[in-house]
Amino acid sequence: MRTKFLIVISSIFITACSSSPKLVNYNSVEKLDRQELINGINDCKDNDLKPYVSYTVVRLQNSSKILVPVDVFCQPIRK
């Protein structure tokens, strides 16, 4: 009984941590995944450039708005 309870609780925590908000009726430009965004930022920093992330606003089903990353630009650093 105790092991079943632990398995159920652990699976709830795992699914809660891995869930992300779903975009409903999103037909605009393709959004960046988390890893793509991190790779783009690291590429800019490796080349001594400043990363600039471009976002778009998406309306969710409950009328709230969120920012979705769509592109990463590398800009020169002013000194």
Note the pLDDT of residue 16.
46
C-beta separation of 44 from 72 below 8 A: yes
- Which of 57, 60, 59 minimizes the C-alpha distance to 70? 57
pTM, 2 dp: 0.60
Two tokens, residue 45: 């920093």
- 17-63: pLDDT as tens digits: 444 555 555 566 788 889 999 999 999 999 999 999 999 888 777 77
Note the pLDDT of residue 52.
93
